[in-house]
Structure formats: C-alpha cells, structure tokens
Amino acid sequence: MLCREHNLAAKPIVGRFAPTPSGFLHLGNVFCSLLAWLYAKSNGGKIILRIEDLDPQRCTRQKADQLARDLEWLGLIWDEGAYVSRDSEHYFQSQRSDIYAQYFAQLQEQGLIYPCFCSRAELHAAEAPHLSDGRIVYSGTCRDLTKEEREAKALKRAPAYRLQVEDTPISFTDGHYGQQSFNLAEESGDFIVRRSDGVFAYQLAVTIDDALMGITQVVRGCDLLSSTPMQLYIYRLLGFTPPSFCHIPLLVDATGRRLSKRDGDLEIAALRKIYGSPEPIIGFLAYLAGQIDKPEPLCVSDLLPLFAASKIPQQNIVVPEIKF
Ligand code: GLU
C-alpha cells in the first residue's frame, strides 16, 4: 500500500486513533481503531490514543474512561497518549484550547479568518448549493462585511469564525483510495474553525494535534476523506508537514447505513457481556477487513503478523448478522 511504502523510506511511523467520546464504543469504531493500530504496528511504528472531547455538550470524561477500558479489554495497547502517558491530560482535546487559540491567532494574523453571523436556518435557506451528502457549501455571505456591519451584528449574535479557502484544487494520494483532488471553494466554501460558543472546530484541532504530536500516518474512516483537503490546507497555512492519509471503508448495515451509536446491540459494552472475551470480536473484524477467510477467534497479537493492508476492501463493508 502506498502509505506503507511512503513511510518505510521516511521517518518512523507514528499513527493515532482519535475517538470522540460522545457515546459508547461500537463495532465501527473498533474496526477503525484495530486497523489504525495494525497499520502502525505492522510497520514497526508506534500508535497514540488521543481523545477528541472538544464538544463539552456531547463528550464526557466518563464516556472517555469507558472507551479506554473497552479498547484495553480488546487488547489494543497504546504506546503513548491518554490513559497511558504520564502527561495523559495533554492527549485530551478539551485540555488543549490554549494551543488551538495560538494557531487560530496565527491564521487571524494572516487575514484569513472572519466572523460569520449566519444562523443554521439562514445557512439552510441560503442559495448555497447543498452537496449530495447534505453538506452545505458556504457561499461567503459574511466574508465581505464592513467593520460597522460586523460590530452591529455582533451586538445580536456571537459569531462563528470561518477560514477563507482558495479556489484551486488540493490533491493528495490516499493510501487506500489513491489519487484525490478537491477544490474547497466548490466542496465546502470557507469553513468553520471556531464555533459561536467558542469551541474550536474539529478541522483546526485535529490538524494542530496531528502536527504537534508528530503523527506521520493518519488511518481513519472514509467518511473523513473530504475533511482531508481542509486539513491539508491548514497544514500549509501553518507551515506544518502533513502526514500520509489512509482512509478505510466503513462498516454498514444491510441497508447501507453506517453503523453508529444508534446500533446499541453492536456496542462493545454489550458484546463484552455476551461473549466474555475479545477474540471472537477481533476475529470477526479481521474477517470483515479481508484478513482471514472465515471468522474465527483471534487475539490482536495473532493478527499482527498476518496483516496485509492490500486485502482491505475498497467498498463499505456490510456487517452480516452477528454470530460470534
Ligand atoms: N474524532 C473523530 C471521530 O471520532 C475522528 C477524527 C480523525 O480520525 O481524524 O470521528
């Protein structure tokens, strides 16, 4: 695979798994964590656990604690990060706002950030085109407001802050899906880097964290493929070297819907109770990832020498009825 070859010649691999603790860990998250872990460890790299608990309304420390316990139970051991390193708190995004603020200020100094006063309803009603997946392309309504207009609007509403994008393609080679090219002006428009409640947005935080934590290889679900050009743009603006990116297929149900926190029966906590040991779950996921011919119990260390990234399917993977 491209991203493996890439890094063998370059720096040692540093991967990461970066879950958002907004609910319980489910099979889809575990699939992603397992593959990120295998990609890094099978190439002699290390892997970091970072908790993306930026959103205080959705994320709690209790959920993060449970998530870490479940990952440990599955046999995924992290070289560094939350719950592992001495400075564990450093790997929780909720503790890193001061760092994000510094880089946010750097982008402001470059004149690329502006306040946006549009409400959600206004955004949906606006003439901005909606992409097929429901995302809105921001048409730039607040980009050219005068100082007076901004001051008047700020009296009524706290603004979000957007980063101005360029109308040129951003290209990269994904380790699993190959050559990609996105024009942010057409795909997202100027995007939010700080929400109106002051919380820094995922795109900014994840880029800063991956850069400062020395991540060289990002392995994550293909739902985030379209986020990559936004992050590459921020890497460039802040003068950081980007990692390689490798997106992997998602686990979906029979109707093609992504497995999510709604699928309570696929939560690891529930599966833990039913099956009592992680091997059936790891073996089942290894089978879904194309690594073994039939689901059979396996522990993570058995799977490691077998791992071949080239066997991972390209299409999203339908999870058959679960029989461990
Ligand atoms: N925190 C994100 C999530 O749980 C993943 C971010 C990433 O891997 O870049 O969906």
* 259/265 Cα distance (integer angstroms): 11
The pLDDT of residue 9 is: 53
Q: Are strands 169-174 and 178-183 parallel, antiparallel or unpaired?
A: antiparallel
For residue 222, report the distance from its CA to the centre of ligand 1, in Å: 11
Which stretches of the chain score pLDDT less than 50?
1-8
Enter the tokens of residue 47. 């892997």
Tell me if 28 CB under 6 Å of ligand 1: no
Task: Give residue-wise pLDDT tens across range 278-324.
Answer: 999 999 999 999 999 999 999 999 999 999 999 999 999 999 876 55
For residue 235, report the distance from its CA to the centre of ligand 1, in Å: 17
Which pTM value belongs to this model?
0.93
Tell me if 18 CB under 6 Å of ligand 1: yes
The helix (run of H) or strand (run of E) holding residue 13 is none
Spatial CB neighbours of 251, under 8 Å, sequence gap ≥ 6: 27, 28, 31, 258, 259, 288, 316, 317, 319
Tell me if 19 CB under 6 Å of ligand 1: yes
Say which residue the tokens 């008047």 belong to.
Answer: 152
For residue 27, report the distance from its CA to the centre of ligand 1, in Å: 15
Counting Cα atoms < 13 Å in the Cβ hemisphere of 281 gives: 28
Tell me if 52 CB under 6 Å of ligand 1: yes
The pLDDT of residue 4 is: 45
Q: Tell which atom from ligand 1 comes closest to the C-alpha of 16.
A: 8
For residue 114, report the distance from its CA to the centre of ligand 1, in Å: 25
Tell me if 224 CB under 6 Å of ligand 1: yes
